[in-house]
Amino acid sequence: MKLVHTLKHLRQHLDAYRHPAVVPTMGNLHDGHIALVRQAKPLGDVTVATIFVNRLQFAPHEDFDTYPRTLEADCARLEAAGCDVVFAPLEAELYPQPQTFKVHPPAVLADILEGHFRPGFFVGVCTIVMKLLSCTQARTALFGKKDYQQLMVIRNMVQQFALPVTIVGGETQRADDGLALSSRNGYLSADERQQAVQLSATLRSVAESLRAGATNFEALGAYSMRDLAEKGWKPDYVEVRRQSDLQPPQAGDKLVVLAAARLGTTRLIDNLEV
């Protein structure tokens, strides 16, 4: 496996390949990231993982400075998974000057749910993903379904810009008790880790109600938020949305339940397609 830190060396190394399959990450890797790397292997002629903690998608009060940087351990896991190239640039390499050109996704998709509670988040996501796709000359890029809205925003961006990239979603990887794997799970105390499974349990409960014929989507979300709050969470949203565009659903639509809530100081997100 080749570890490179500069665009020059990345492009030199990838020059011999025609179909890079790329897994963009912020590092501190877990089994969900590794599953994406393994999924990428047969989809290209070289498998590339990028590791970059992107300042543009963090608000001033969020955890950019404390986000775990674990490059050595990450590289060991990636090499064991069969990754060919790791691109881990310094901030000055990707942002040698202020990033004044940015990608602004449409408000109807990007200012709801996560975008409502994290203003500007998807501008940062789209800008760095566009840049990484360009840097790696990706022909396939893989993103986890745990970040459901992010996956949808990126798919729409690639489509509208006619980029020659196929976006592939990887299924959410979960711990044995159902908790969605996330780099931020490491922030949880032992007691909080035991309570954290309540978020995925809430999604399953809503899904069961939907399968049983429930159609009052707002009431389901409101009840779930009250239930989480009574258990000590600070929920941002529990919403039933249409899978295709995350808008309020109509009869017959395929559905997805999405939730975000804070347990202690840790904000967790999860979703479940129905």
Question: Per residue in 87-127, pLDDT tens?
Answer: 999 999 999 999 999 999 999 999 999 999 999 999 999 99
C-beta separation of 180 from 200 below 8 A = yes
Q: Give me the domain span that covers residue 221.
A: 183-268
Question: Per residue in 184-225, pLDDT tens?
Answer: 999 999 999 999 999 999 999 999 999 999 999 999 999 999
> Which residues are known to be catalytic?
33
Structural domain contains residue 178: no
Query: Does residue 67 share a domain with residue 108?
Result: yes
What is the count of structural domains for the chain? 2
Query: Does residue 232 share a domain with residue 194?
Result: yes
Query: Does residue 204 share a domain with residue 109?
Result: no
C-beta separation of 50 from 24 below 8 A = yes
Query: Does residue 159 share a domain with residue 37?
Result: yes
Phi first, then psi: what are they for 169, rounded to 5°?
Answer: -95, 135
What is the C-alpha separation between 226 and 188, in angstroms, rounded? 22
Residue 101 sits in a domain whose CATH number is 3.40.50.620
Query: Does residue 158 share a domain with residue 22?
Result: yes
C-beta separation of 30 from 37 below 8 A = no
Query: Does residue 148 share a domain with residue 73?
Result: yes
Whole-model pTM above 0.85?
A: yes
